[in-house]
Amino acid sequence: MVYSFLRPLFFALDPEHAHHLSINALKLLQTSQRRPTPAFSHQRLAQDLWGLRFPNPVGLAAGYDKNAVVPLVWSTLGFGFAELGTITAQAQPGNPKPRIFRLAQDRALINRLGFNNDGARAIAQRLPSLLSPQSSRPIPLGFNIGKSKITPLSDAVADYLESCKKLLPFTDYLVVNVSSPNTPALRKLQEAERLGRLLEALLASMRQFAETEHTSSKPLLVKIAPDLDTAAIEEIAQLALSVGVSGLIATNTTVERSGLRAGSPETGGLSGHPLATRARAVLRTAYRAVEGRLPIIGVGGIFSAEEAYERICAGASLVQIYTGLIYEGPFLAQRIVRGLVRIVEREGLPHLRDVVGRDV
C-alpha cells in the first residue's frame, strides 16, 4: 500500500535515475545491517539444488544489481537467491541514454542498456570487502556473465573465460548470458556449434578451479532467449545435457512487440507482463526437451504467487523477478513467497517441488 502511493513519484523520474536511487537506498540498508538477514523460508518451499540450499524459490533476476554492489541485501527483501550482473570482461558504459522505457499500461519495460558495468576485474577487486570466498551468506548468489561489446564473436570464448576466472571465487553459481538482444550479434552464440565450444571451455575452467581449491565444481547455467523457435530450444537443451551444464534459465527479454496495448517505437528487450505467455511456453518446451533432468529457472512477467506457481507447474524449479519490482514494490518477493505457502497448504502438497512440470 505504501508503494502504491510512492510509485507515482518514482514514475515521475527518468527510469534509469529512479533505478540509481533505489540502488543507493539499498546500499544504505546493506550498510546498516550488522549481519545479513536470513531469507523467509518454509519447510514446504526450501530445497537443495546443485549442492546449494535455497530457503525459498523466488530469486532476483540479473540486471538489477549489475555491479554487485548490494549482494547482501536481497535476503532482507525476502529473496531466496539473487543473480548479479550481467558482468563483462571489459568495463563498458552501455548504449546511449535514454535506454530504459516504462510501458505502464502494459506493466512492462523496454531496455537497451547494453551490459553497462564496471568490468569483471574492477568488480572482483571490490568483492572481497563484501564476499570473501569462504564467507557464509544467507542465500545463494549467482553471477551472470556476458560478452564485451568490443570483443568479436571469434574471441568470445576468451572473453567469457576472463570473467569466469575473476568471478568464480565469489559466486555460488555462474550463468552464461548469450541471449540479451542489446549486444550486437550476441544471440548468435546460441547456435549449437558456438555455444558448445563456449560451454566446454567454461566447464573445463571451472573444473580446474575446483581441483585447485579442492572443492566441488560450481554449477553453470545457460540463459536463453524467448525468441527461439522450438527446434532451437530443443537443440540447446540437448547440448546442455551432453556437455554437462547444470541448468537453464528461461527466459531473457524479447524483441517481439505483439500483444502490447500501447505501442512503442523504442528498440531493446521487452520484459514484464507481455513476456509472460511466451516465457512460459519456452519453459515448457525446454522442460520437455531435458525430460526433467536439468533444473530450470523460470523468469519473465511474474508479478504474483499465482503466476510463480503456474511457472513451477510448467517446469521451473525456481523463479526470478525483476520488472515486477518496478510495478509492485521492493517487497514483492516476500508477498510471492507467502502466497506460495498459502497455495501449497491449500493444495495439500507436501512440498512445492512435487508440482514441478506437472502441467507439461
Contacts 24+ apart (CB under 8 A), 8-11: 11/102, 11/104
Residue 251: closest CA among 206, 219, 286: 286
Catalytic residue among 41, 179, 180, 271: 180
DSSP per residue over 208-238, as a string?
A: HHHHHHTSPPPPEEEEE-TT--HHHHHHHHH
Whether 180 sits among the annotated catalytic residues: the reply is yes
**How far is 255 from 253, CA to CA, in rounded Å?**
7
CA end-to-end distance (rounded Å), the chain: 36
- Any alpha helices (H) in the chain, and if so which ranges? 2-11, 15-32, 120-126, 156-167, 192-213, 230-243, 276-290, 305-313, 323-328, 332-347
Each residue of 5-18: b (16+ CB within 10 Å) or e?
Answer: eebeebeeeebbeb
**β-strand partners of 48:** 53
Cα 259 versus chain centre, distance: 24
**How far is 100 from 81, CA to CA, in rounded Å?**
25
Q: How many CB atoms lie within 10 A of CB 327?
A: 18
**How far is 21 from 28, CA to CA, in rounded Å?**
11
**How far is 148 from 143, CA to CA, in rounded Å?**
15
Query: 205 with 165: CB under 8 angstroms?
Result: yes
Q: Tell me which residues are annotated as active site.
A: 180
